[in-house]
Amino acid sequence: MEDSFDESEKKGNDFSEYLLDRVRQLEERNLKLRDANRKVENEKRSAENQKVRYEREVRKLRSELERLKGPPLLVGTVLDVLDDNRVVIKSSTGPKFVVNASQFIEQELIAGARVALNQQSLAIVGALPPSKDPTVYGMEIIETPTVSYDDIGGLDGQIQELRETVELPLLKPELFKRVGIEPPKGVLLYGPPGTGKTLLAKAVAKETESVFIRIVGSELVQKYIGEGARLVRELFEMARDKAPSIIFIDELDAIGAKRLDSATSGDREVQRTLMQLLAEMDGFENRGDVKIIGATNRSDILDPALLRPGRFDRLIDIPLPTYEARVEIVKIHTSGMNLAHEIDAKKIAKLTEGASGADIKAIAMEAGMFAIRAERESVTGADFDDAVRKVVGMPNAETQQLGSMFA
């Protein structure tokens, strides 16, 4: 009996030990599982994050795809803003429409603003920056040109005249007021290629501390009807904004050629541009701080309407340089060169009868090239002799090409 009691007590002990052991085991297991669970949960969370990220990316790509697949927008100009959020626009193809405007346009719509239109409803969906952005139309704006009168050789008389007609009205408008005359409005520089017309215009802009706005005549000829005229209008508007300023229209003959009766539609567009130019010049305040300088190689083909008083009323002839002028130009273009010894400018000038300033610049450059080819660091007189032969000795047509190449 006792035995069996002992036995059962022992069994009970064993059992409780076993249970304790088992509980410990289970607790350990529980801990491990809890760890594993935490890990899995972390993984789940990061996977969910990733999913959100991917979803966002998919949405972005999808909307980009939509955007790219969307129909193109038309460009129009606001003519008038009506009271009820409706707007009168002129589409780029010509006709005028009354359309609705999106409420989400941040910029205020004013007459003249460029806007983007939905193709079907022509509703305004966005405002565009003003097209006065000069780079778009090949205008070149130089806030402060670096060319000065000293860089121009042999054109003293022309510089004098340009100073009177451009500088004086800009710097001392009261002189003209006192005498009671209006200063000339526009100055036309004409002469063969490479004689310094563009150079002169830049020098005047620097000397008067004006903004220099250069546009080449051919840039004003646009593909679509009315575009050229609008460009001229914007050009003058911009010049007024930036005043004091000088508008320099280079190669004026591109738009200023005589108007003929038998004209193609392309010619008519060129003429419309010219007429806008004439109108803008007429509407211009003479004592104002915007000056117009034109340049051309062919004053003979210019429309007489451009040359009448009140427009380009001062013609300045820029001829090919004389002997004395060539000596000066040679000195200007060799002044920055590393010369082995003094260069005989007179000799070069004598050899370059009929050459333009640009030709002489080309000679200086060629002489430098000869020195580089011979692996010398300084330029000798012999280099110049070779260069003169190379540039002036060329057939006439090529020399002229060189001239315009450096324009």
Ligand X SMILES: Nc1ncnc2c1ncn2[C@@H]1O[C@H](COP(=O)(O)OP(=O)(O)OP(=O)(O)O)[C@@H](O)[C@H]1O
Q: Which residues bind Mg ion (CB under 5 A)?
A: 198, 407
The nearer residue to ligand X, 231 or 329, going by C-beta atoms, is 329
Q: How far apart are the C-alpha atoms of 154 and 165, rounded to whole Å?
A: 19
- Please count the CA atoms within 13 angstroms of the CA of 256 that sit on its side-chain side: 29
Q: Cis bond leading into 309, ω under 30°?
A: no
Is 361 a binding residue for ligand X by CB under 6 A? The answer is yes
Per the structure block, which two tokens stand in for 328? 């000066």
186 binds, among Mg ion, ligand X, none (CB under 5 to 8 A by kind): none
Partner interacting with residue 149 (select from ligand X, Mg ion, none; CB below 5-8 Å by kind) = none
In the complex with Mg ion, the residue whose CB is nearer, 355 or 388, is 355
193 binds ligand X (CB under 6 A): yes
- Nearest residue to ligand X, scored by beta-carbon proximity: 357
355 within 8 A of 154, measured Cβ to Cβ: no
**Between 238 and 318, CB nearer to Mg ion:** 318
Q: Rounded distance, CA 100 to CA 337, Å? A: 65
Tokens of 30: 């529980």
* Distances 323 to 153, 154, 247 between C-alpha atoms, Å: 11, 9, 32
| Contact predicate 363/391, CB 8 Å | yes
Instruction: Report the SS3 class of residue 48.
Output: helix
Shortest Å, Cβ 192 to Mg ion: 11
In the complex, least distance from residue 268 CB atom to ligand X, rounded to whole angstroms: 27
127 versus 295: smaller Cβ distance to ligand X = 295
Q: What is the size of the binding site for ligand X (CB under 6 A)?
A: 21
- Residue 368 in contact with ligand X, rule: CB under 6 A: no
Shortest CB 215 distance to Mg ion, Å: 12
Interaction of residue 153 with ligand X, rule CB under 6 A? yes
CA distance 403 to 407: 7
Q: Name the CA radius of gyration of the chain, rounded.
A: 39
Q: How far is the CB of 153 from ligand X (least distance, A)?
A: 4
Nearer to ligand X, 154 or 183 (CB): 154
Q: How far apart, in Å, are the Cα atoms of 265 and each of 226, 303, 336?
A: 12, 18, 50
Residues that bind ligand X (CB under 6 A): 152-155, 193-199, 295, 297, 329, 332, 357-358, 361, 404, 406-407
